[in-house]
Each structure stands twice: as C-alpha cells, then as structure tokens.
Amino acid sequence: MCWFSTVSDDGYLYVPLGGSRRGFFQKLVSTALAFSFVCFWHGCHDYLQWWALLNWVGVLVENGIALLLSSAPLHHTIVRFLSPRMQRRGLAFISAFSTAMLILSNLMFLGGIHVSWVYWKRVFVQGWSNVALPMVGFLYCFAQVGLDFDQKQSRRQRSTTSSS
C-alpha cells in the first residue's frame, strides 16, 4: 500500500496517467490503465478482469454518448426540439440504465461472476417486466433527485461566488 500512495503526489493514479483533460483517446487509455491497476492490485482474479473490462466499457459508452450528445448538430437538434424538462428526463433515463449497470459491476467486484450473473439473469432476463422495469423506474426517480440536488448545489455555489 505504501508504494501505491507514492504513485503520485496526491495519491491518485488516473490523473497522472492523463485523466480527462488530454482528449478522448488519452481518457480511454488512462481509464484502461487505472482499472487494470485496480484489478492487478486486488489479485487479478478472473472476476476482477471482467469487472475491469465491464467498467472500462461503461466509461467508454458513457463518454461516447456524452461526446455524441455534445456534437454541434445533435446538440442543436436536442435544444431546438426538446424542452429543458424533456432534456432532463432524457438524462435521467440514461442515468437510470447507467446506474443499473453500475450495480452489476459492483456485484461482480464484491461477489464474483456467479453473483453478478444471478443479478443479470433474475433482473434483466427472467424478471424484465416485474423487476427490471420497476427498478429502472426507481433509478430514474433517483436520478431526478440527484439532478435536482446538483442544480441546487450549483445555484448555491454561484450565489456565494457572486456575493464574494
């Protein structure tokens, strides 16, 4: 553990590898190396390799969607045809699926492949109508609360910054 804390001055691995400030490709390489290091650090078991791959693909998809949605033509179309409320609902809907996959990833890390496979099978294969839909609905509401919290937090920060 002592070696890990001396990897960088602030104790992080992702930022010294390039982080998110050097472009899309560098971000993918940095996240792949960071997840690989965590996998190696915890013993490099097969379930940890799957966990690292699943997380890396999740980051890849999330960043790809963000890049796509921020492209000028698509962003202009979204702003033109969707109200701010509908934009927020779309973001909450995407976040609900992202959180469901995050739960799968954490179950894989903590419980191994068997536990995560049971979750996937019971929720998304066997119980898609009576488990997955209500769960995604709950996660959608949870994302709405999170977006509201973030919005209030940023308003609070702007008001303290402008009054200073």
Contacting residues for 88 by C-beta, under 8 A, at least 6 apart:
144, 147
Q: Are 108 and 51 in contact (CB under 8 A)?
A: yes
Is 42 an active-site residue?
A: yes
Q: DSSP of 100-137, one letter per residue?
A: HHHHHHHHHHHHHHHHHHHHIIIIIIISIIIIIHHHHH
Which is it for the CA torsion 106, 108, 109, 111, positive or negative?
positive
**Which amino acid belongs to residue 84?**
P
Residue of 42, 45, 75, 76 marked active site: 42
Closest CA to 45 of 109, 105, 93, 98: 109
Longest distance between any two alpha carbons in the chain, whole Å: 56
Q: Which residues are known catalytic residues?
A: 42
